Amino acid sequence: MFGMPENTFFSCYPELKDILATSKRAEIESQQRQKEVEAALEQERNKPENQLMTLYDNYLVVRVCYENRKGYALVYVTDTQMEEGRRAVKIKEQDLQKRFPTLGTNKIWEESSQRAKGLSELLALGSGQLNESMKLRCSLALAFLLSSSDGYTTPAIKKDF
């Protein structure tokens, strides 16, 4: 340390050795607590009701995005994307219901729907203009839906020439 052997340095400043050791212990404990928190969050996220809630929340974002720009030349979500999102949600919902028959899908849907009302109202305020940050949010929600359903596959592109 500072151009001298570690033993020499700490013999000159013995209190620093304790401070350094305490600091390292605190860092290790902090990292351990962070891992525990992350594990608990992951466990919570993986609960079926939370998986379904996240799925519904993202679906409703996509649906609000779709409905908000319906009829405009520039849209957040196309008809095809909306249909793909709807199909992906249905596949995942059916899978979760099959694995967890007591899952209260109606209750979870109602909770998600209530949260989506605020987004719908917010988008209605600026419905005449395309908002790039909202377009990104819509795209991310759609990507989540399409990637979350194991049984969902993108439909084949038909030859059109």
Question: What tens digit of pLDDT does each residue of 6-48 get?
Answer: 777 778 878 888 888 888 999 999 999 999 999 998 888 889 9
Residue 142, domain member (yes or no): yes
| Same domain, yes or no: 26 and 54 | no
Q: How many domains does the chain contain in total? A: 2
| Same domain, yes or no: 92 and 15 | no
Contacts of 23 (CB under 8 A, 6+ apart): none
Q: What is d(CA 151, CA 92) in angstroms, rounded to the nearest whole number? A: 8
Say what the pLDDT of residue 127 is.
Answer: 56
| Same domain, yes or no: 22 and 64 | no
| Same domain, yes or no: 58 and 29 | no
What domain range is 76 assigned to? 47-148
Residue 4, domain member (yes or no): no
pTM of the shown model: 0.71
